[in-house]
Amino acid sequence: MGLINLSQNPSTEDNTYNPQVSTKKAMQFGKWSVSLEGDLSFDNGRYEIYSNQLKEKFWIAHLFSKNFIDWNEFIPAYFQGLKNAGIQNIEMLVYYSTPIDEIIFKKAN
């Protein structure tokens, strides 16, 4: 599996990576906010991913099943969350033969 190195800053030449800092010092990416600790929150808590979950390799595959995801907002928020949490390398699941929710729920039990 390939590793993604987050030690370099993403390009800021286009408008897809343009965080706005709020008064609470959380970064905003559309409807996603990222805390200083790396927690991600969508639409004021409608959907959350905590910093201790960011290294789980199934997030991208799992979120493909969610119709509310705007990838131009989520991807930069996700990478900012990883950076804020101090995570420099991740392993990502890009193919699965078992439905992803079965993988998640089996792991939780």
Delimit the domains of the chain by residue range.
Answer: 3-108
Instruction: Report the pLDDT value the prediction gives residue 73, as an integer from 0 to 100.
Output: 96
CB within 8 Å of 35: residues ≥ 6 apart = 26, 41, 51, 84
pLDDT surpasses 60 at 12: no
CB within 8 Å of 3: residues ≥ 6 apart = 89, 90, 91
Separation between Cα atoms, residue 56 and residue 40, nearest integer Å: 14
9: alpha, beta or left? (left if phi > 0; alpha if psi -120 to 50):
beta
pLDDT surpasses 70 at 6: no
pLDDT surpasses 70 at 59: yes
Confidence of residue 60 (pLDDT cuts 50, 70, 90): confident
Average pLDDT of every residue of the chain: 76
- pTM check: above 0.95: no
